[in-house]
Amino acid sequence: MNIRVKDLFYIYENNEEQVVALRGLDLNVELGECLAIRGPNGSGKSTLVKLLTGYQKPTAGEIYIDDQNISEIDPIQLRRQYVASINQNGSLIKELTVRENLALAYSLNSSLASRSTEITSQILEEHSLSHLATRYPDQLSAGERQYVSLLAAVATDPQVLVADEPTEELDHAGAKIIYSLLKSLCSKTIVILVTHDIRAEEYATRTVRIREGRISEEWSAGEAEKSVIDEFGWMRVREVTQDVPKRVKRAISENVTPILEANGLKLTYSPKEIFSDVNFSGRPGQLLALDSTLPTKTGKSSLLRILSGLVDADVGSVLVNGQAIGGLDREARAQLRKALVSYLPQRGNALERITLGEYLGSTVVDLGKSLNHRRSSPLGNFSGGERARIELLKIIAESRPILLLDEPISQMDERRTNEAIEALFGYLENGGLVIMSTRNEILLEAADHIIHLG
């Protein structure tokens, strides 16, 4: 069994704009390989996924599973029987429990449908998940959700499983579990993992890198990278790598007045206490980090929302510029944010339908040559990593005194990550305060304090 991608092109065409996302991509994958596809933001990875899963039709080129051209298979049939997929949010139905989601998935497998209930119990047991059987997807950790999504995705015995950034939101331990499950699936299903997560190296037997819509390098586990020169003789220039950003830490005197203080914060999502007795102060020029390499659900995102004044802690107070935000009404809080605080939630703020130009407004941001000229494109037309970068650079350019950032760079490739970190270091140099959750080693290293929750 194999999947063959031949000279694939995809062009997005909207109104005035044409974006060539794939330009002559060739790729063969055999059963038994655990393939990882890497590549910078906007290189065409998700576009390839949409074509493999039949959500979009190639502008040119073909995809074959064994010898069948997938354009001849009805897209619904294709996704039911041939190509299963999951994305970074998993693929479970919110209104169904774990057991019901799996049973539904098995009921779609014609040879197992009559025994779907029994098989579901068996699978839950085999994977030590029985304790989660009656939970709804919202009641699972991100890692558990992805795990169950993967099991549901392969319930129909698909020939191919495509996972687009499945570990994006997971801590190290969670990612490891997903990679080992993917690895165990490789023997029966062609697994194609799309990611920019270097942790995927332990899973992959072969890795290919996409750049500008074509395969640019490939290598097998333990080998050095090899450039791929295709039949058109397109030699690729090596990717520009940036130096690892360095921050010169300055000791900031305790005598400097804090611009943000957290006093005795406690948060409970009943019946569970999330954190308590959280105390810290942030001064201009400081970087305070919440370490996301640690297990999720310790309340990092909740803490950032509390600091922004969008929600209140159960106990304790937050002072911004000496003023307790607990005592302010909504309007006053919004005013305070406008003057002093920028908050960037994990999934960003930007609306899909407004254009890049409208979103940036009068804020001056240099997004580089590939994006600067796309100001009339709606934000929904940019890749996840491109959007994350646009939002972060805008917020930094607005230069309010406090930045609250929830995993702002986790979607960016290595080069963009380094650029973003440079920009953050510049902001700190200019006396800004950054409080952020991150699993980036450079930032954790550069932090003045790590805030511990618990």
Judged by the rule CB under 6 A, the positions of this chain that interact with ligand ADP are 12, 14, 19, 21, 39, 41-47, 381-383, 385-386
Computed from CA positions of residues 413, 416, 422, 424, in that sequence, does the dihedral angle turn out positive or negative?
A: negative
Retrieve residue 297's tokens: 């659900």
Q: How far is the CB of 169 from ligand ADP (least distance, A)?
A: 16
258 binding partner (options ligand ADP, Mg ion, none; Cβ < 5 to 8 Å by kind): none
Q: How far is the CB of 42 from ligand ADP (least distance, A)?
A: 4
CB nearer to ligand ADP: pick between 214 and 247: 214
Q: Are 447 and 287 in contact (CB under 8 A)?
A: yes
Q: Report how far residue 375's alpha carbon sits from residue 155's, in angstroms, rounded to the nearest whole number.
A: 43
Q: Which residue has the tokens 């072969």?
A: 206
- DSSP for 337-383 reads HHHHEEEE-TT-S--SSSBHHHHHTT------HHHHTTTTSBGGGS-
Neighbours of 113 (CB within 10 A): 13
Residue closest to Mg ion (Cβ) = 46
Q: How far is the CB of 170 from ligand ADP (least distance, A)?
A: 18
439 binding partner (options Mg ion, ligand ADP, none; Cβ < 5 to 8 Å by kind): none
Neighbours of 449 (CB within 10 A): 13
197 binding partner (options Mg ion, ligand ADP, none; Cβ < 5 to 8 Å by kind): none
- DSSP for 213-234 reads TEEEEEEETTSPPEE---TT--
CB nearer to ligand ADP: pick between 44 and 143: 44
The DSSP H or E segment spanning 193 is strand 190-194
Phi-psi domain of 419 (left: phi exceeds 0; alpha: psi -120 through 50; beta: other): alpha
> Which residues make Cβ contacts (< 8 Å) with residue 61, sequence separation at least 6?
5, 6, 7, 8, 9, 22, 24, 25
β-pair partners for 206: 35, 220
Q: How far is the CB of 416 from ligand ADP (least distance, A)?
A: 10
CB nearer to ligand ADP: pick between 312 and 414: 414
Q: How far is the CB of 189 from Mg ion (least distance, A)?
A: 21
Retrieve residue 100's tokens: 């019901």
130 binding partner (options Mg ion, ligand ADP, none; Cβ < 5 to 8 Å by kind): none
41 binding partner (options ligand ADP, Mg ion, none; Cβ < 5 to 8 Å by kind): ligand ADP
Q: Report how far residue 304's alpha carbon sits from residue 49's, in angstroms, rounded to the nearest whole number.
A: 33
257 binding partner (options ligand ADP, Mg ion, none; Cβ < 5 to 8 Å by kind): none
Q: How far is the CB of 215 from ligand ADP (least distance, A)?
A: 13
CB nearer to ligand ADP: pick between 103 and 208: 208
CB nearer to ligand ADP: pick between 160 and 210: 210
Q: How far is the CB of 386 from ligand ADP (least distance, A)?
A: 5
43 binding partner (options ligand ADP, Mg ion, none; Cβ < 5 to 8 Å by kind): ligand ADP
CB nearer to ligand ADP: pick between 283 and 389: 389
CB nearer to ligand ADP: pick between 39 and 58: 39
CB nearer to ligand ADP: pick between 53 and 342: 53
47 binding partner (options Mg ion, ligand ADP, none; Cβ < 5 to 8 Å by kind): ligand ADP
Q: Report how far residue 296's alpha carbon sits from residue 199's, in angstroms, rounded to the nearest whole number.
A: 17
CB nearer to ligand ADP: pick between 241 and 362: 241
CB nearer to Mg ion: pick between 261 and 386: 386
State the residues that interact with Mg ion by CB under 5 A.
Answer: 45-46
Q: Are 219 and 38 in contact (CB under 8 A)?
A: no
Q: Which amino acid is at 82?
A: Y
Q: How far is the CB of 66 from ligand ADP (least distance, A)?
A: 26
Q: How far is the CB of 375 from ligand ADP (least distance, A)?
A: 13
Q: Are 331 and 309 in contact (CB under 8 A)?
A: no
Distances (CA, A) of 71 to 44, 61, 106: 20, 10, 26
Q: How far is the CB of 11 from ligand ADP (least distance, A)?
A: 9
44 binding partner (options Mg ion, ligand ADP, none; Cβ < 5 to 8 Å by kind): ligand ADP
438 binding partner (options Mg ion, ligand ADP, none; Cβ < 5 to 8 Å by kind): none
